[in-house]
Amino acid sequence: MLDRIILREESDTCYEFGHGRLDDLGVRISSVFVIFAVSAIGAFFPLLSRRCKKFQLPGWVFFATRYFGSGVILATGFIHLLADGLEALTDECIGGTFENYPWAEGIALMSLFCVFAFDALAHKRIHDQSKMDQNNVNDSVLFHGCCDIPSSLQSSNKKSPDIVIGTEESTTLDSNYEISKERMLNCIILECGIVLHSIFIGLSLAISNSEFVTLYIALCFHQFFEGLGLGTRFADVVWPRKYTYLPWIMAFTFSLSTPLATAVGLGVRDSFAIGSRRGLITSGIFDAACAGILIYNSIAELMGFDFIYSDEFKEKDMRSLVMGIFVLGLGALAMAVIGNWT
């Protein structure tokens, strides 16, 4: 099986090595810094607007940005990842086992199921730990309450308001903390899928030939919108004090992934070809796996939780819900259109 999938480089007929002299090397080098800048603006601005009053935006702007970014991430999973993985793994020169089975869809399905299983187990673990902590808090409140209440009041049938309020407040805080930990987990899963994908699009940009300018422009919009989607998700999570640095690290990692891969691609341009048989198989497998991650996260978290299961729209009128769905669709449409050039 392995011999059928990975052939020796000498028998690689998918791609010819050697790209010739680059007349636009300066422009290609500049793309490293430009793409880093637009990626960073998209990823960091939502975090800055939440943290600094100087950058704070009206509520409706953050609302629109949040759901537009969700649509961008959704379309990335289908149009920019699954489609790219399918194109790579069905290339006619790959042959072998890839001719006999839809591996791109199969890998995406396996990836989706693995992420679902991990997510379900992690959420169960978080819930059990939260419940255990809550029981400890309740026991502590009742114990201290009995000791603090005078003996004349202990025989009364009235319950202490302080004890009741304290228990209710601790329950609410515990529930919010549990939701926050679940959203932290979803942000990390989302980050992993997008960063892996960003590495391959950076390599693709570096080794592209006549289509470089078109791809360069499209990737600038692609990275900005994708960064915006990630940044708004990071900003929407209440991070514990000991993890407040984490969204900034993840935003920086995303911003650096594509330009760093582009720089590496320029350095190995004459010795590595993402269009070779090995390159197609590698990028196709990673694209399909990342597609499963983003599709699951988009549908389960960004759509299902936000629009159906959370309290986000339950206290608002129907117009707010329709507007959120409309903006989500706009984000998906924008990224789907960009997919024509990436």
SS3 66: helix
298 closest CA partner among 323, 321, 331, 322: 331
Is there a domain that residue 140 lies in? yes
Is there a domain that residue 170 lies in? yes
The neighbour count for residue 4, using CB atoms within 10 Å, is 12
Instruction: Give me the domain span that covers residue 264.
Output: 23-338
Per-residue pLDDT at 140: 55
Is there a domain that residue 12 lies in? no
d(C-alpha 55, C-alpha 285), whole Å: 40
Residue with structure tokens 């939701």? 179
User: Which DSSP string corresponds to 167-210?
Assistant: HHHHHHHHHHHHHHHHHHHHHHHHHHHHHHHHHHHHHHHHH--T
Average pLDDT per consecutive 10 residues, the chain (342 residues; last block may be shorter): 46 54 77 94 90 78 88 90 90 83 94 90 80 62 50 44 45 58 84 86 79 85 90 87 91 94 82 75 88 90 84 84 94 90 76
**pTM (2 decimals)?**
0.72
Total of domains in the chain = 1
Is there a domain that residue 7 lies in? no
Is there a domain that residue 88 lies in? yes
Per-residue pLDDT at 95: 78
Is there a domain that residue 2 lies in? no
Give the percent of the chain with pLDDT over 90. Answer: 25
d(C-alpha 336, C-alpha 29), whole Å: 27
Is there a domain that residue 136 lies in? yes
Residue pLDDT, tens place only, 196-223: 888 888 888 887 776 788 888 888 988 9
Is there a domain that residue 4 lies in? no
Non-local CB neighbours of 160 within 8 Å, separated by 6+ positions: 145, 149, 153
Per-residue pLDDT at 135: 62
